[in-house]
């Protein structure tokens, strides 16, 4: 008889639409292969719905079932005030709904779950509200050290800076306390493991996302670069704004085809479209989108965790140009398996360098594959899980 796991996620996992959902689906597949049956409760942002009492059930396969609730997350002043007088951050409170809580509790009451996984600090808003069997292990899967993202996003505009630093301080309190209430903390990057290990050394483990490497024989679009990332995540928006204003003008002078895509693409980015710059929103087939491009560029200046899109590109042998913040959490070697560039001139010249030097691009791509095989294989992760679960 298959053992059971319940996963509570702050986004839809299947179908995968961004790095976060890919990381979640990746773990689900690993656990499925270990003969676990998995119920997933996903909470999806939809500011057009009035209530969250119409869940959608999707059977992924014989092992995985996903129940999705759509939740209105428009700014709520009452929730903000509530967050001032509780230990819960405003961003986490947005994900809470009593109907969803009751549905989760019903699943717990009707199933003997061996493990309950809370994907992200935001989904732990439900932890204190649930009655969980004492024999059930609880896991926080920390995709980022969330408070650091908001600290990084704070800028010199006084009002926005105050708001972001306030939000950061709220989430930090949650992250500093959550280890008292869960059995394990899984991070997806070793960089984030260091943070949580300082707080909860015996409970914290780095369980990276796994990838298989592929032979990518698809004919490439000549001199093509791409960026793919969810555009409802502030670090992606911030980074792409920088790229558009600081790097794109120089690249437009070169013979380079620039592809940019991501769900919930803000309308103002479409103003940059031209014969060389193709901008899209939702991509139905991510693999098809990336496999015929020559280079991935990642202009990220805030955040923690690990950029799944970099690992995904490396698995296909696609060379990557990234900021050091974007590549954070990856055990890279600059100039060997990635090119790191932190200002506009370096970033521009690194892209042009790979476009003009195809031999160097292939070497960087091949070495990226080797990095995946040595640090992000199924074998590596299964060995870690064997020592924990």
Assign 363 a pLDDT band (cuts: 50, 70, 90): very high
- What is the C-alpha to C-alpha distance for residues 61 and 21, in angstroms, rounded to an integer? 17
For the chain, helix (H) and strand (E) counts, in that order, are 14, 14
Fold: same for 3-207 and 224-375: yes
pLDDT score for 23: 92
CATH superfamily of 3-207: Glycogen Phosphorylase B; (3.40.50.2000)
Tokens of 61: 């396969």
Q: At what angle do helices 158-177 and 190-199 cross, to 10 degrees?
A: 70
381 token code pair:
């992760």
CATH code at 224-375: 3.40.50.2000
The closest alpha carbon to 144, from 83, 199, 185, belongs to: 185
> What integer pLDDT is reported at residue 88 of this predicted model?
83
Per-domain residue ranges for the chain?
3-207, 224-375
pLDDT at 112 over 70: yes
Does the bond joining 108 to the residue before it have cis omega, within 30 degrees of 0? no
Q: Residue 1 corresponds to which tokens in the numbers above?
A: 């008889």
- 316-342: pLDDT as tens digits: 999 999 999 999 999 999 999 999 999
pLDDT at site 157: 61
Q: Is the pLDDT of residue 349 over 80?
A: yes
pLDDT of residue 389: 77
Edge-to-edge strands of the sheet including 204-206?
56-59, 64-71, 36-45, 3-9, 113-119, 137-142, 184-187, 204-206
Give the pLDDT of residue 216. 86
Structure confidence by residue, pLDDT tens digits, 149-206: 788 877 656 667 888 888 889 999 999 999 999 999 999 998 899 999 999 999 999 9
- With b for 16 or more beta-carbon neighbours within 10 A and e for fewer, the 211-233 pattern comes to bebeebeeeeeebbbbbbbbbeb
**Region 113-140 average pLDDT:** 97
pLDDT over 70, % of the chain: 98
Q: What is the pLDDT of residue 244?
A: 97
Residue tagged 């298959």 (tokens): 2
What share of the chain in percent tops pLDDT 90?
74
Which of 134-138, 197-201, 218-222, 379-383 shows the lowest mean pLDDT across its residues? 379-383
**Tens-place pLDDT, residues 38-92:** 999 999 988 888 888 889 999 999 999 999 999 998 877 777 777 777 778 888 9
Question: How big is the chain, counted in residues?
Answer: 389
Cα 58 to Cα 173: distance, rounded to the nearest angstrom: 35
Contact 176, 199 (CB under 8 A): yes
> To 10 degrees, the CA torsion angle through 150, 97, 204, 330?
-50
More confident residue, 73 or 367: 367
Residue 367: phi, psi to the nearest 5?
Answer: -70, -30
Q: What is the pLDDT of residues 203-249, one digit of tens each?
A: 999 999 999 998 888 999 999 999 999 898 889 999 999 999 999 99
Helix (H), strand (E), coil (C) string for 121-150: HHHHHHHHHCCCCCCCEEEEEECCCHHHHH
Beta strands in the chain (DSSP E): 3-9, 36-45, 56-59, 64-71, 113-119, 137-142, 184-187, 204-206, 224-228, 257-261, 277-280, 295-298, 320-322, 339-340
Residue 156 confidence (pLDDT): 57
């Amino acid at each position: 008889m298959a053992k059971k796991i319940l996963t509570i996620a702050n986004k839809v996992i299947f179908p995968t639409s961004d790095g976060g959902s890919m990381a979640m689906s990746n773990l689900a597949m690993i656990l499925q292969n270990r003969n676990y049956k998995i119920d997933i409760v996903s909470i999806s942002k939809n500011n057009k719905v009035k209530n969250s009492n119409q869940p959608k059930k999707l059977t992924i396969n014989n092992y995985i079932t996903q129940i999705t609730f759509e939740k209105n997350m428009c700014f709520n002043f009452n929730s903000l005030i509530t967050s001032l007088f509780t230990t819960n951050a405003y961003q986490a409170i947005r994900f809470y709904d009593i109907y969803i809580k009751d549905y989760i509790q019903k699943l717990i009451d009707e199933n003997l779950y061996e493990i309950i996984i809370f994907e992200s600090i935001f989904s732990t808003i439900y932890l204190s509200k649930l009655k969980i069997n004492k024999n059930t292990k609880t896991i926080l899967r920390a995709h980022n050290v969330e408070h650091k993202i908001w600290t990084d996003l704070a800028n010199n505009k006084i009002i926005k800076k105050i708001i972001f630093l306030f939000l950061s301080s709220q989430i930090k309190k949650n992250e500093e306390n959550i280890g008292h209430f869960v059995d394990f903390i899984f991070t997806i990057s070793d960089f984030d493991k260091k943070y949580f290990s300082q707080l909860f050394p015996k409970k914290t483990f780095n369980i990276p996302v796994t990838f298989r490497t592929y032979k990518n024989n698809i004919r490439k679009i000549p001199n093509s670069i791409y960026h793919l990332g969810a555009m409802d995540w502030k670090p992606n928006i911030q980074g792409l704004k920088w790229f558009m204003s600081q790097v794109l003008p120089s690249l437009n002078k070169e013979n380079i085809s620039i592809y940019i895509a991501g769900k919930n693409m803000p309308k103002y980015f479409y103003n940059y479209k031209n014969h060389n710059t193709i901008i899209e929103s939702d991509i139905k087939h991510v693999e098809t989108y990336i496999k015929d491009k020559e280079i991935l560029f990642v202009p990220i200046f805030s955040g923690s965790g690990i950029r799944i899109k970099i690992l995904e590109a490396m698995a296909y042998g696609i060379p990557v140009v990234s900021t050091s913040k974007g590549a954070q959490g990856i055990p890279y070697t600059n100039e060997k398996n990635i090119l790191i560039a932190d200002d506009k001139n370096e970033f521009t010249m690194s892209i042009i360098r790979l476009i003009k030097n195809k031999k160097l691009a292939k070497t960087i791509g091949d070495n990226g594959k080797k990095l995946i095989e040595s640090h992000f294989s199924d074998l590596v992760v299964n060995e870690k899980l064997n020592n924990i679960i």
